[in-house]
């Protein structure tokens, strides 16, 4: 669990670490910080899958995975219907909510 906490801390800190280089790299830093959020999502998803494999009966981890499936399913549907504004606005906060939720699960586990 200690390793999972370190991976999660790295994943969450990476975009911020890149963003603080803004005074040196200007807009490039913001671009790469935004791009690194995909790395954060992948790392958190990987951690979530590992935790779910270790604890298949954990209701909270199932809720997290359902949220991930819902996000990508809604994203796919939104692309198929040529990007409805309401669905797009719904999609924006979901990754942040999922990141916070998984972080809470990780730090609450003993």
Task: Extract the residue ranges of the chain whose pLDDT is less than 70.
Answer: 110
> What's the pLDDT at 59?
97
> What's the pLDDT at 110?
62
Going by C-alpha positions, the residue among 17, 15, 20, 18 that lies closest to residue 44 is 15
């Amino acid at each position: 669990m200690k390793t999972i906490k370190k991976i999660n801390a790295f994943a969450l800190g990476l975009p911020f670490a890149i963003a603080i280089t803004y005074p040196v790299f200007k807009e490039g830093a913001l671009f790469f910080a935004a791009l690194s959020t995909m790395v954060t999502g992948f790392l958190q998803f990987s951690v979530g899958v590992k935790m779910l494999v270790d604890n298949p009966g954990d209701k909270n981890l199932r809720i997290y995975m359902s949220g991930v499936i819902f996000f990508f399913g809604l994203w796919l549907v939104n692309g198929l219907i040529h990007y409805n504004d309401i669905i797009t606005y719904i999609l924006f906060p979901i990754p942040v909510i999922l990141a916070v939720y998984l972080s809470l699960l990780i730090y609450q586990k003993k």
